Amino acid sequence: MNRAIYFLILFSFLVSCKKDETKTLEFKDCVVEYPSYGSGEKELYAGHSISNKWEIESANRKLALCLSEKYLEKPDQEIKLKILEIYNSKEEYFEHNSPKNIEFNTILKNRNEIFDPNILIE
């Protein structure tokens, strides 16, 4: 019984000590690195933090920008589908003001505004 309690305490301690790491999103020749916080978020200052989910959303937007450039260089159906997947994904932290039913060429034309990856903290 005591061993189980010690194991639980040790396991809880190890889980709580998870370190920040860098993760990667990749598709075709586009590679985007983003931070992942061991605690699930990083506090910037009192009452304001960035979560792992927010960082992933930003990384997906960076990936979409890279893929858009690749598509403009050489159209590719797989790249187009990935861009549309990112465009149509539900985001929790970013405002997606563009309608879901716009043409792909419009997405490409407005890619810098649509996929703006900047995280703004007030």
pLDDT by residue, tens only, the chain of 122 residues? 567 666 656 555 555 567 899 999 999 999 999 999 999 888 878 888 888 999 999 999 999 999 999 999 999 999 999 999 999 988 887 776 667 788 999 999 999 999 999 876 66
Task: Please state the domain count of the chain.
Answer: 1
Quick one: which of 88, 118, 92 has its CA closest to 104?
88
Q: What pLDDT, on the 0 to 100 scale, is given for residue 97?
A: 67
Rounded CA-CA distance 86/113 in Å is: 14
Contact 28, 79 (CB under 8 A): yes
Is 119 contained in some domain? no
Q: What pLDDT, on the 0 to 100 scale, is given for residue 30?
A: 98
Q: Strand pairing partners for 21?
A: 36
Query: What residue numbers bound the domain in which 27 lies?
Result: 18-114
Rounded CA-CA distance 71/68 in Å is: 5
Is 10 contained in some domain? no
Is 3 contained in some domain? no
Q: What pLDDT, on the 0 to 100 scale, is given for residue 48?
A: 80
CA–chain centroid gap for 114, Å, is 15
Q: What pLDDT, on the 0 to 100 scale, is given for residue 82?
A: 98
